[in-house]
Structure 1
Amino acid sequence: MPIQQKDPSRASTYSWPGVLAIALGALSLVVTEFLPVGLLPGICRDLGVAEGTAGLAVTATAILGFIAAPVTAIAIGRADRKRVLLGLTALLIISSVLSWKAESFATLLIARVILGIGVGGFWAISITAAAKLVPPEKVHAASSIVFAGISIGSVIAVPAGSYIGAHADWRDGFMGASVLAVVCFALQLVFLPSLKMKHGVNVRDFFGLLKDPKVRAIFLTVIFIVAGQYAGYTFVTPYLEQITHLSTAIVSVLLFAYGVATVVGNFVGGAFAGRNLHNTVVATVWIFVLSLASIAAFATSPMFAGLSLLVWAVSWGMAPVGTQLWLYNATLHAPEAAQAMNTSVFQLSIGLGSLAGGIAVNHAGLHSSMWLGALILALAVMMVYIVGRMNRQPAVAA
């Protein structure tokens, strides 16, 4: 009977509680990253900044996340992932406390920059770390749990922020985020075993990915999809209040429904992608661009704006499924580098989208944010057809 070699990069004992601790950390990071979207009106009033300027609270985090993802993946080498994750969660605590106590917009931006480092680093290594905590045949389940933490965080972040902003001081939202971050740190400290890696990621892995034209096209598609999303979504709370003239309470309910519809979109996208991946992605981006154009065109109609928002949410939930499957199929030779780069591209796109939306809002008003998002998504439609053509080329050659 052959003796199986033990993978030194795996934990000495498997730990599902450790996987849950990582998932909770991912949830906490997502909640804290997008909390300002729901708190935007309160931040503007209290710190005396315009909506477009306040959107920098999202942009700053995303830009640092873009930088931190590949830098962290390379810098940590084969370091114990438990220590790395604890360090990144500590940055989350520091950022949340600083945001809670911020008396100026400059202080808030500093806090958000610190958060960006934590977000980029954590997202870059969390999936691979969780995979080491379970038997090889359960890696898919562990990854799903971490992704569930990200999805749930995206569901509750904006409506929770909107609710807090309507019934309490906006700083209370970051106080709650601080408590959640401390709980995450404690759970990771207790339940995460030592996770020393067999191999690290190097710069050549990233350059190797970027040499592939299909991978470049997929990343460009992701940039347009995510940037289009956040050009509009960053300002959705003041948009619904000031343009559609909905009450804060109704906006909170709508944003919660948006989050639930996003999760539904994840499952819908997965089901259809299993049947025909290309057609699913094509349909997704078309629905996406039309829903944003619709909410812009019928902004003053609460019924049409509300319906458009929910369709938008479903399409946003579906979008990452197709692009992730495209990327996975194209990067089987370097999955860790691809995950770090995807995190980086995603965060860059959030920053670019929210920044572009902020500039548009400051110069042309809130209404322009949705039209801009639709315009950027039209570029995503073009890229989806280009990637689809690349996917068919090997089959034709064969």
Structure 2
Amino acid sequence: MVMQTDIQEPTTHSWLGVLAIALGALSLVVTEFLPVGLLPGIARDLGIAEGTAGLAVTATAILGFLAAPVTAIAIGRVDRKRVLLGLTALLIVSSVLSWNAQDFTMLLLARVILGIGVGGFWAISITAAAKLVPPEKVHAASSLVFAGISIGSVIAVPAGSYIGAHSDWRQAFLGASVLAVLCFVLQLIFLPSLKMKQGVRMGDFFGLLKSARIRAIFLTVICIVAGQYAGYTFVTPYLEQITRLDTSIVSGLLFAYGVATVVGNFVGGTLAGRNLHNTVVATVWIFVLSLAGMAVFATSPLLAGIALLVWALSWGMAPVGTQLWLFNATPHAPEAAQAMNTSVFQLSIGLGSLVGGIAVNTAGLQSSMWLAALILAAAVLMVYIVGRMNQQPAIA
């Protein structure tokens, strides 16, 4: 049984409510990926290896993986306004703890709490936003929430890198705390009661996993996302220590990376509308080659910079294709599929940053890009497999 959204008549605050949800999504993404830009400072200040500091990303992702399906089931028909406020409160607690962390244990605890908020929020935010607007505006509401996620990914790492270069890394989490409080207040004011007729059941997830096609799509997502974060988690120290770029230049490049990612979202959507399979095939091949280029041209600032931007463009395109695959394959279970996709995505972030950290600690920073390219090569194979399976009908 799938979730019923019981879409209500829009109120004068409907779009402000959608905006509040979108800002919450932005805040969560910013806070989740701040450590990527702060990695050198965290490692230096807490006296740990950079590969170990990468666990600050891994811990959040692993808890996000667990929290998405658990939250979707546990909340049942509970008013979604109350759920979103509770999850945003976890974001506030996590940010304040990170701001005050004096050792790595306290930082990890904060990141675990954040993971619960991330998984739960991502699992229900799109459906909650859809309840606020009439059916013909659901696409626009969903796009606004996704825009929050994209913009968060644009500003998180370069902002962290800039703050880390000019101040104590904890100040970044002070800023995140302020943003989280703002999100909470806006949700409290502008979100109406969002009651549900029925929630997601455990059987919905098992029903999805019975399909070989769905399993193949999720395995493709794992390869793409794990490959991304095996390299991206360590991109700041990589550019500083291997490519030997000044921290201000790194911040600028990472901002450009974020912008290119957003451009990739739109390019991927446009091309996928014309030919979905060919778009995904081209995307993963470009992905592999750009990561290999990062490794091969590591000591050339110009060529490494070009490879970085091509990498960003392909990363922006990739989730669009896999999301469309999943949407087309699960027309009768979209909410359960969204929760599971969130779970798989977060698990893949954790796996990627974990294996990337192991590679960095054992073989050096440059190994992270080679490892990322290798994992993406597996994604190429999975894309061809899914392409053949897509001849099958969608699951009922």
Q: Same fold (TM over 0.5)?
A: yes
Q: Confirm or deny: 8 A CA contact 1:23 1:146 kept in the other structure.
A: yes
Counterpart amino acid of residue 48 in structure 1: G
Contact (CA 8 Å) 1:9, 1:195: kept in 2 or not? Answer: no
Q: Is the 2:243–2:301 contact (alpha carbons within 8 Å) kept by the matching residues of 1? A: yes
Alpha-carbon distance change, 113 to 72 in structure 1, aligned in 2, over 3 angstroms: same
Q: Which amino acid aligns with 1:335?
A: P
Which residue in 1 is equivalent to 2:334?
Answer: 335
What letter is aligned with 1:367?
Answer: Q
1:266, 1:321 within 8 Å by CA — same for their partners in 2?
A: yes
Contact 1:124 1:340 in 2 (8 A): yes
1:268 and 2:267 are equivalent in the alignment:
yes
Q: Deviations over 1:170-226 (max 9, x none)?
A: 000000000000000000000000000011000000000000111100000000000
Q: Distance in 1 between matches of 2:104 and 2:180?
A: 22
TM-score by length of 1: 0.97
Match for 1:144: what amino acid? Answer: S
User: Residue 158 of structure 1 aligns with which residue?
Assistant: 157
For 1:294 and 1:13, locate their aligned partners in 2 and report how far apart those are by CA, in whole Å.
50
How far the C-alpha of 1:8 sits from its partner, in A, is 8.0
Query: 1:88 corresponds to which letter in structure 2?
Result: L
Q: 2:120 is aligned with what amino acid?
A: G
RMSD: 1.1
**Counterpart in 1 of 2:119?**
120
1:9 aligns with 2:6: yes
User: Does 2:23 align with 1:21?
Assistant: no
Cα drift, residue 11 of structure 1:
4.0
CA distance in 1, matches of 2:49, 2:335: 40
Whole-angstrom distance in 2 between the partners of 1:198 and 1:235: 44
Deviation at 1:393, TM superposition (A): 4.9
Q: Which amino acid aligns with 2:166?
A: H
Q: What percentage of residue pairs aligned between the two structures are identical?
A: 85
In the alignment, the residues of structure 2 paired with residue 287 and residue 13 of structure 1 have an alpha-carbon distance, to the nearest angstrom, of 43
Structure 2 unaligned regions, length at least 5? none
Q: For the residues of structure 2 that align with 1:72 and 1:121, how far apart are their CA atoms?
A: 5
* Partner deviation per Cα, 1:32-58 (whole Å, 9 max, x = no partner): 000000000110111011000000000
Work out whether residues 10 and 197 of structure 1, in 8 Å CA contact, stay in contact via their aligned partners in 2: no
Contact 1:19 1:133 in 2 (8 A): yes
Instruction: Provide the secondary structure at the position in 2 that maps to 1:392.
Output: coil
AA aligned to 1:165 is G
Tell whether the 8 Å contact from 1:237 to 1:251 is kept in structure 2 after alignment.
Answer: yes
Task: Please give the alpha-carbon distance, in whole angstroms, between the structure 2 residues aligned to 1:108 and 1:133.
Answer: 36
The code of the aligned residue for 1:391 comes to N
Could you tell me which residue of structure 2 aligns to residue 4 of structure 1?
Answer: none
User: For 2:198 and 2:318, how far apart are their aligned partners in 1?
Assistant: 31
Deviation at 1:10, TM superposition (A): 3.2
1:20-78 deviation line (CA, Å, top 9, x unaligned): 00000000000000000000011011101100000000000000000000000000001
List per-residue Cα deviations over 1:91-131 (Å, max 9, x = no partner). 00000000000000000000000000000000000000000
In 2, the alpha carbon distance for the partners of 1:271 and 1:185 equals 34
In the alignment, does 2:86 pair up with 1:87?
Answer: yes
- AA matched with 1:285: V
1:274 aligns to what SS in structure 2?
helix
CA distance in 1, matches of 2:9, 2:120: 24
Q: 1:10 corresponds to which letter in structure 2?
A: I
Aligned length: 389
CA distance in 2, matches of 1:346, 1:8: 24
Q: Quote the residue 2:172 is aligned against.
A: 173
**2 CA distance for matches of 1:178 and 1:304?**
37
| Cα distance, 1:9 vs structure 2 | 3.0
The 5-angstrom pairing of residues 173-252 of structure 1 reads 173-252=172-251
Q: Which residue number corresponds to residue 3 of structure 1?
A: none
Q: What amino acid is aligned across from residue 329 of structure 2 in structure 1?
A: A
Question: CA shift at 1:391, angstroms?
Answer: 1.3
Q: Distance in 1 between matches of 2:380 and 2:176?
A: 36
Query: Residue 257 of structure 1 aligns with which residue?
Result: 256
Q: Work out whether residues 79 and 195 of structure 2, in 8 Å CA contact, stay in contact via their aligned partners in 1.
A: yes
Alpha-carbon contact 1:10-1:195 (below 8 Å) kept: no
The residue number in structure 2 matching 1:64 is 63
- Contact between 2:66 and 2:343, CA under 8 Å: does it hold in 1? yes
Do the aligned partners of 2:9 and 2:134 also contact (CA within 8 Å) in 1?
no
Following superposition, the deviation at residue 339 of structure 1 comes to 0.4
Instruction: Give the aligned partner of residue 372 of structure 2.
Output: 373
- Runs of 4+ that moved beyond 2 A: 7-14, 392-395
Structure 1 residue runs of 5 or longer lacking an equivalent are 1-6
Quote the residue 1:103 is aligned against: 102
Is 1:285 aligned to residue 284 of structure 2?
yes
